[in-house]
Amino acid sequence: MTKTLLHIDASVRRDGSATRGLTARIVERLDAARVLYRDLGAAPLPLIDDAWVSANFTPADARSEAQRATLALSDDLVAELAAADTIVIGLPVYNFSVPAGLKAWIDLIARAGVTFQYTENGPRGLLTGKRVIVAMASGGTTEGSDADFAARYLRFMLGFVGMDSVEFVAADSLATDADASLRSAQEAVERLAA
């Protein structure tokens, strides 16, 4: 049984969002003891800026109070990931890539020395041992196709911080056959091991 699940929605659509419907069903199916929720579409995160980068690259014990405050949200996002053993992410494909809100989240959680570290053998992710399920929806960008920059990017970034057990549930032909695409994705959700 999943103890702590982090549920992330990234669609800017509140009603009629395929990914919101799929992530809700996945979370329901997994029946976690505790669910943390982030809505990156309804409550967009700030973009990283010069102050954030400066604070992030200042050693933790040398940070000013203002720098600690600048990193507080990022620290909270990282803590949510660290606490979760399962992460469910809604990935609507916008213009062949991830939504801006999801990209902002990635920028805030990809931190050297915190979620990954550089070694003599290259970078090593520190958020290991987690299961990630991504509910992807697009009009016609097939998951894994040459035009699929969203799923490939998300899979790479999750692996970069240590989360390499990633499953995709795709409703990726909504513009051509929405009913069949959603039905196929819903069937995939029902096959997920709880």
- Check residue 2 and give its pLDDT: 80
The mean pLDDT value for 24-34 works out to: 96
Q: Across the chain, what does the average pLDDT equal?
A: 96
- Check residue 193 and give its pLDDT: 82
Tens-place pLDDT, residues 134-182: 999 999 998 988 989 999 999 999 999 999 999 999 999 999 999 999 9
Residues 6+ apart with CB under 8 A from 19: 9, 10, 11, 90, 91, 92, 135, 136, 137, 171
Q: How far is the C-alpha of 63 from the C-alpha of 61, rounded, in Å?
A: 6
- Check residue 144 and give its pLDDT: 86
Tens-place pLDDT, residues 76-97: 999 999 999 999 999 999 999 9
- Check residue 171 and give its pLDDT: 95
DSSP-derived pairing of the beta strands 122-125 and 116-119: antiparallel
> Which of the pair, 141 or 108, is modelled with greater confidence?
108
- Check residue 174 and give its pLDDT: 94
Indicate the residue type of 141.
Answer: T
Task: Check: CB of residue 2 under 8 Å from CB of residue 86.
Answer: yes
Checking if the pLDDT of 71 tops 80, the result is: yes
Per-residue confidence band for 115, with pLDDT thresholds at 50, 70 and 90? very high
- Check residue 5 and give its pLDDT: 98
Q: How far is the C-alpha of 117 from the C-alpha of 124, rounded, in Å?
A: 5
Checking if the pLDDT of 1 tops 80, the result is: no
Task: Check: CB of residue 111 under 8 Å from CB of residue 78.
Answer: yes
- For the annotated binding site for FMN, the residues are 11
pTM above 0.75, yes or no: yes
- What's the distance, Cα to Cα, between the start and end of the chain in Å? 7
Domains located in the chain, CATH noted: 4-191 (3.40.50.360)
- Check residue 113 and give its pLDDT: 96
Owner of token pair 């799923």:
151
The mean pLDDT value for 29-52 works out to: 96
- Check residue 16 and give its pLDDT: 92
* Proportion of the chain above pLDDT 90, given as a percent: 92
Tokens of 172: 């990726």
Checking if the pLDDT of 191 tops 80, the result is: yes
- For the annotated binding site, the residues are 11
The mean pLDDT value for 99-114 works out to: 98
Q: How far is the C-alpha of 174 from the C-alpha of 72, rounded, in Å?
A: 38
